[in-house]
Amino acid sequence: MLQAQGVHVRRGSKQVLQAIDLSLHAGQVLGVLGPNGAGKSSLLGALCGELTPNQGQVLMQGLALAQWQGAARARALAVLPQVSSLDFSFSVEEVVGMGRLPHASGVQRDAEIIEQALYAADAQHLLGRSYLALSGGERQRVHLARVLAQLWPGAEGSVLLLDEPTSALDPLHQHTTLQAVREIAQRGTAVLVILHDLNLAARYCDCIVLLHEGRCHATGSPQQVLTPQALKTVFGIEVLVQAHPERGHPLIIAR
Amino acid sequence: MKRLLAPRTLFLSLGLLWLLAIWLSLALGPVSLPFVDTLRAGLRLLGAPIAGQGLEQAELIVGQIRLPRTLLGLLVGAVLALSGVAMQGLFRNPLADPGLVGVASGAALGAALAIVLGSGFGGLPEALAPYLLSLCAFLGGLGVTALVYRLGRHNGRTSVATMLLAGIALTALAGAGVGLFTYLADDATLRTLTFWNLGSLNGASYQRLWPLLLVVCVVALWLPRRAQALNALLLGESEARHLGVEVETLKRELVFCTALGVGAAVAAAGLIGFIGLVVPHLLRMLVGPDHRLLLPASLLAGGTLLLFADLVARLLLAPAELPIGIVTAFIGAPFFLFLLIKGRG
Amino acid sequence: MMRRPSVLIALCASLVFAAVAQAEPLPQRWVSAGGALSEWIAALGGEARLVGVDTTSQHPESLKALPSIGYQRQLSAEGILSLRPDVLVGTEEMGPPPVLAQVRQAGVRVELFSSKAELTAVDENLKHLGTLLGAEQRASTLASDYRQRIQALQAAIGQAKTHQQAPGVLLLVGHGGGKPMIAGQGTAGDWLVQQAGGRNLAEHDGYKNVSVESLAGLDPEVLVVSDRALTGDAAVQAMLKENPGLSASRAARDGRIVVVDPTLLVGGLGPRLPEVLQSLARAFYPQGNVSFKP
């Protein structure tokens, strides 16, 4: 769906990304892990067109990203930034409704979608509240609902990029959020999600990219990527990796 | 979410207030006309065949003095309020003001140039002379805003933060220019400059309404088409871009509409402050920030508020007149402080 | 739209002066937008006809009781019309033009006068006012009297100059003494000083703030103080207190400081001028017997 081919990105004098090759596939959740400054946000920036690679290219459905314009692009690609600053007292449904801007699906259909997206983000109880009156975690879920509404219901050909969607959430909502992400992926959307929590990544991602100093250190399934050796190199931590007793995915335990 | 007013109630009350303001603006003035006469004069202006004693005087006052003044107030108020919405959207800050991009200070500079050097413009076509002040103010506002916009652009993108700083710097520069002209001016010219800086709807005439009407139509038809894009812009520029909004185009349109609208308003009526700040802010408290409601509501409320301010301006010291900028500042500044204190609590 | 000003004027006039039946009756209700003009109207016995004046009309004192139409350059059409005037008089400084057009359209005569500081302007203005007031005789007496007094004064000053050099003078316009503006070339203040036989030391154009240092450097022999807030001795004391640099000047040492009313300096030559010129000239030439009495 979305492909980065030999992408290099320079910010000022610093080369923040080097020779990145990766592809997002329909129905797959790709997790991006790496320590602070490894280039995770730059990668997301390059993949959504906010940063222009000075070498290499990003293709969406085989077409260079820059070729995609306006509403057509917004119908295929949704992005959830790490923080959103909104200083105006929109209601929750108005904020989520903005996700429907690139569509002309009509007020009634939009209202249904807004409700379903809020439900998916476990934020349906916030309906009717003012955005400004919400807590940080609630705001994050409302924005998640917004990007879900933008691609709703999610289909092959669409791409969702999420920058640390769980950073402000309590443990329960970290799971509900990633569950919602999985569900939209099941309907065909290709998803990339930047995460900090290794165990969350191990559980919800089909594929993981481990970034280290602007380079792809490892790519593959959680079992392939999340090895004590790789984590020692990239994060500098000593860990034990065991299989989850019920689900079988890797479980990372700090020593 | 619970708003103070449902949209339907809001537009109904705004519409009624708007009509009330128009009626009062036509019916009240230093010359006291019986309400019946105002009505009959109004009907005569519309072509109804009514005759009666003293109606000529009433028709003259209503038709030639109060009506153009009322229309000027409606247009200026509307375009100032709309520009306020546009700027608060562009800067994503509910306390932004059309003055931020330098349009007001540029217009003031143009006006000072025209007032102080007015007679020095040799070889100017005779027909243009009465419009020299308006023209200079308009071009000054447009010029400074264009410069602010140009300075904010880098690598094909416009940085709102840079524009803000450029606006501050150019406002200071234009202020220095006005100061220089003030220094060069003689006493009488100085008074003219002072009064111009305070704004007035005095002396409105139909000929002078046309250019403003044209500009207001452009702004009032254009901005509402971009209402949803403006909503998205409040989320942030990149968010808006991801929602399919052509952000650079939108920003250019907002700056252009503001420069055009405020430039024309200032050219027609001098500097009138606070309408652009207070009206959108007040309405946002009543209906929320959705531009689909906010823009048309501002259009109505801007005109209404300015007409009420003008009534105070012309009645308070009658037969003399208070500059309207003083009245709007007396309303606007305490309101601004109220917001400040309320926001803190 | 029908415009028949004569009908309206006749209507108003007939209410007041039913006996008068002329083709173009004299205007009975006057609005004056010019300080000097209002003074002349009062001097011509027309004060009772004034129904409104602008903010520059401060003399005679009784005018302040009349409705104020605001500053002469910022008149309001409807404000003026609400006074139901027959005529609006003012100088070429009166405005804004669209308002004057509206006033004219409402059938009010708008009569323009010169605010130039010239004797011929006084002659013309008085003649024009006299005609409008129906006091031609009195106007021409006033005008010739005025001319005579000024000319007599000029002669006396000319005489005095043969014995004494023209003194260097500065005219300061202040507000409670603070930050005075100096009357430069081309100002009414400059004209006043020149006419009284003084030599204006200020070389700039218009009214400008001047630094204390250069004030001291000019070292005027006579100071003319015109204060908007204070009169008489209080104005002099305030000016010296706020501007210590002046105290060292010859004028302050010799006590040669004269106070003039700032309302004299706006809107053309008024009836009080000869007296003021005389008092200034006497201060400039204390030895000479300067007077406009032959």
Cβ of A91 and B246 within 8 Å? no
Residues B103 and B90: their CA atoms lie apart, in Å, by: 15
How many interchain CB pairs under 8 A, A with B? 76
CB-CB under 8 Å, B231 with A78? no
Do A73 and B244 lie within an 8 Å CB cutoff?
A: yes
pLDDT for B124: 58
**Which chain B residues are closer than 8 Å to A150 by Cβ?**
243
Q: In terms of CA atoms, which chain C residue is nearest residue B187? A: C207
Hey, which residues 61-120 in chain A have their CB within 8 Å of chain B? 70-75, 77-79, 81, 84-95, 98-99, 101-102
Q: Which residues of chain B have a CB within 8 Å of the CB of A86?
A: 234-236
- pLDDT for B128 equals 66
The domain ranges of chain C are 5-113, 165-284
Which chain B residues are closer than 8 Å to A94 by Cβ?
Answer: 1, 231, 288, 290
A130 shares contact with chain B (CB less than 8 Å): yes
Residuewise pLDDT in 10s, chain A (255 residues): 899 999 999 988 889 999 999 999 999 999 999 999 899 999 999 999 999 999 999 999 999 999 998 899 999 999 999 888 888 999 999 999 999 999 999 999 999 999 999 999 999 999 999 999 999 999 999 999 999 999 988 889 899 999 999 998 999 999 999 999 999 999 999 999 999 999 999 999 999 999 999 999 999 999 999 999 999 999 999 999 999 999 989 999 998
Interface A:B, ≥3 CB–CB pairs < 8 Å = yes
DSSP annotation of A3 reads E
Listed residue (B36, B32, B21) closest to B61, CA to CA: B32
Q: Which residue of B has its CA nearest to C204?
A: B184
Find chains touching chain C: ≥3 CB pairs under 8 Å: B
Chain B residue numbers with beta carbons less than 8 Å from the beta carbon of C83 are 319
Question: In B, which residues are within 8 Å of C3 by CB distance?
Answer: 56, 60
Q: In the numeric block, which tokens belong to residue A181?
A: 């992400």
- With H, G, I as helix, E, B as strand and everything else as coil, classify residue C186: coil
Separation in Å, CA of B286 to nearest CA in chain A = 11
Q: Determine the pLDDT at residue B233.
A: 95
B residues 167-206 lying closer than 8 A (beta carbon) to A: none
Question: Does B1 reach chain A within 8 Å, measured CB to CB?
Answer: yes
Residues with Cβ within 8 Å of A230's Cβ and at least 6 positions away in sequence, in order, are A210, A217, A218
Do domains C5-113 and C165-284 share one topology? The answer is yes
d(CA B245, CA A203): 35
Q: Are A85 and B92 a contacting pair at CB < 8 A? A: yes
Residue among C97, C65, C101, C58 at smallest CA distance from C81: C101
- In angstroms, rounded to a whole number, what is the distance separating the alpha carbons of residues A120 and A251? 26
The number of beta carbons lying within 10 Å of the beta carbon of residue B83 is: 31
Task: Give me the pLDDT at residue B1, please.
Answer: 52
Q: So where are chain A's domains? A: 2-254
Closest CA to C50 of C36, C60, C38: C38
Q: What is the dihedral of CA A233, A237, A241, A247, to 10 degrees?
A: -100
Is the pLDDT at C18 greater than 50? The verdict is no
The DSSP code sequence of A59-114 is EETTEEGGG--HHHHHHHEEEE-S-----S--BHHHHHHGGGTT----HHHHHHHH
Exposed, middle or buried: residue B282 (CB in 10 Å: 0-12, 13-18, 19+)?
middle
Cβ atoms of residues B177 and B108 within 8 Å = no
pLDDT digits (tens, 9 = 90+) for C184-221: 888 888 888 999 999 999 988 878 888 877 877 888 99
Q: What is the number of helices (H) and of strands (E) in chain B?
A: 15, 2
Q: How many helices (H) and strands (E) does chain A have?
A: 9, 12
With CB atoms and an 8 Å threshold, state whether B236 touches A70.
no
DSSP letter at B36?
A: H
Cis peptide before C96 (omega within 30 of 0): yes
Min Cα–Cα distance to chain B from C93, Å: 8
CB A64 within 8 A of CB A73: no
Find, in chain C, the residue whose alpha carbon is nearest to that of B54: C8
Q: How confident is the model at residue C252 (pLDDT cuts 50, 70, 90)?
A: confident
Q: For the segment C78-100, what is each residue's pLDDT rounded down to a tens digit?
A: 999 999 999 999 998 898 888 99
Q: Which residues contact A125 (CB under 8 A, 6 or more apart)?
A: none
Sorted by where each starts, the structural domains of chain B and their CATH numbers stand as 7-344 (1.10.3470.10)
Residue C19 clears pLDDT 50, i.e. is over it: no
N- to C-terminal Cα distance for chain C? 59
The mean-pLDDT minimum among B114-118, B309-313, C132-136, C168-172 falls in B114-118
Dihedral over Cα of C92, C96, C102, C106: its sign: negative
Q: CB–CB of C47/C41 below 8 Å?
A: yes
Set of chain A residues whose Cβ sits within 8 Å of the Cβ of B239: 79, 81, 84
Name the residue type at position C185: Q
Per-residue pLDDT of chain B (345 residues; tens, 9 = 90+): 556 678 899 999 999 999 999 999 999 999 988 888 888 888 888 887 877 777 788 888 999 999 999 999 999 999 999 999 999 999 998 888 888 889 999 999 998 888 887 755 555 566 666 788 888 999 999 999 999 999 998 877 888 899 999 999 999 999 999 999 888 877 777 877 888 888 889 888 898 899 999 999 999 999 999 999 999 999 999 999 999 999 999 999 999 999 999 999 998 998 898 899 999 988 998 888 999 999 999 999 999 999 999 999 999 998 899 999 999 989 888 887 887 787 664
Q: Which amino acid is at B193?
A: L
Interface membership of A134 toward B (CB under 8 Å): no
Give B66→chain A minimum CA distance, Å: 39
Cβ of C101 within 8 Å of Cβ of B205? The answer is yes
CA gap C75, B191 in Å, rounded: 13
Tokens 């995609």 locate to A68
- Which of A47, A54, A77, A98 should be substituted to probe chain B, the one whose Cβ sees the most B Cβ atoms within 10 Å? A98
**Distance from first CA to last CA of chain B, Å, rounded?**
22
Side chain identity, residue B34: P
- Report the pLDDT averaged over residues C137-150: 94
Residue in B32, B203, B319 nearest the CB of C98:
B203
- Tell me, what's the pLDDT at C229? 81
Q: What does the buried/exposed string (b/e) look like for A30-69 if buried means 16 or more CB atoms within 10 Å of the residue's CB?
A: bbbbbeeebbbbbbbbbbbbbbebeebebebeeeebeebe
Q: What pTM was computed for the model?
A: 0.88
Which tokens belong to A224? 């392939």
**CATH superfamily placement of domain C5-113:** Nitrogenase molybdenum iron protein domain (3.40.50.1980)
The interface pTM score, or ipTM, of the predicted complex is 0.92
Q: Region C163-178: what's the mean pLDDT?
A: 87
| Among the partner residues C1, C79, C81, nearest to B320 by beta-carbon distance | C79
> Residue C270 contacts by C-beta under 8 Å, 6 or more apart in sequence?
C35, C36, C39, C40, C59, C264
3-state secondary structure of B126: helix
- Interface residue ranges in chain C relative to chain B, Cβ cutoff 8 Å: 1-4, 8, 52, 55, 67-71, 73-83, 93, 96-99, 101-102, 105-106, 187, 205-208, 266
**Which residue carries 């519309």 as its tokens?**
B46
Beta-carbon pairs below 8 A across chains B and C: 104
How many residues are given for chain B?
345
pLDDT above 90: percentage of residues in chain C: 47
Q: Is residue C35 classed as helix, strand or coil in its secondary structure? A: helix
Q: What are phi and psi of C7, to 5 degrees?
A: -65, -45
C-beta of residue B265 within 8 angstroms of C-beta of residue B147: no
Q: How many residues does chain C have?
A: 294
Rg (CA), chain C: 21
pLDDT of residue B121: 54
Cβ contact A130–B284 (<8 Å): no
CB-closest option in B236, B243, B288 to A150: B243
Half-sphere exposure in the Cβ direction for A65 (13 Å, CA): 23
CATH number for region C165-284? 3.40.50.1980
Kindly determine whether residue B289 and residue A89, on different chains, have CB atoms separated by under 8 Å: yes
Q: How far is CA C158 from CA C163, C164, C212, C276, C286, in A?
A: 10, 10, 33, 17, 14
* Both tokens assigned to C171: 């005219």
Q: What residues of A are in contact with residue B92 (Cβ under 8 Å)? A: 85, 87
Structure-block tokens of residue B88:
């608060």
Q: Give me the CATH topology for the region A2-254.
A: Rossmann fold (3.40.50)
**Concatenated DSSP letters of C92-157:** TT---HHHHHHHHHTT-EEEEE---SSHHHHHHHHHHHHHHHT-HHHHHHHHHHHHHHHHHHHHHH
Rounded-to-integer distance, Cα C274 and Cα C156, Å: 13
How does DSSP classify residue A7? E
Token couple for B103: 């349009």
pLDDT at B185: 79
Among residues B127, B130, B88, B174, the alpha carbon closest in space to that of B267 is found at: B130
- Nearest Cα of chain B lies from the Cα of C121 at a distance, in angstroms, of 19
Q: What are the tens digits of pLDDT across the range A71-113?
A: 999 999 999 998 888 889 999 999 999 999 999 999 999 999 9
Q: How would you classify the pairing of strands C199-200 and C168-175? A: parallel
Residues of A within 8 A of B2 (CB-CB) are 128
What is the model's pLDDT at position B247? 94
- Distance CA(C256)–CA(C243), nearest Å, equals 16
Q: Which chains have at least 3 CB atom pairs separated by less than 8 Å from chain A?
A: B
pLDDT at residue B344 in the model = 61
* Nearest chain B CA: its distance from A231 CA (Å): 33
**Partners of C178 in the beta sheet?**
C175
| CA dist., res. C236 & res. C281, Å (int) | 18
Q: What is the strand order of the sheet A63-64 is part of?
A: A14-24, A2-11, A55-60, A63-64
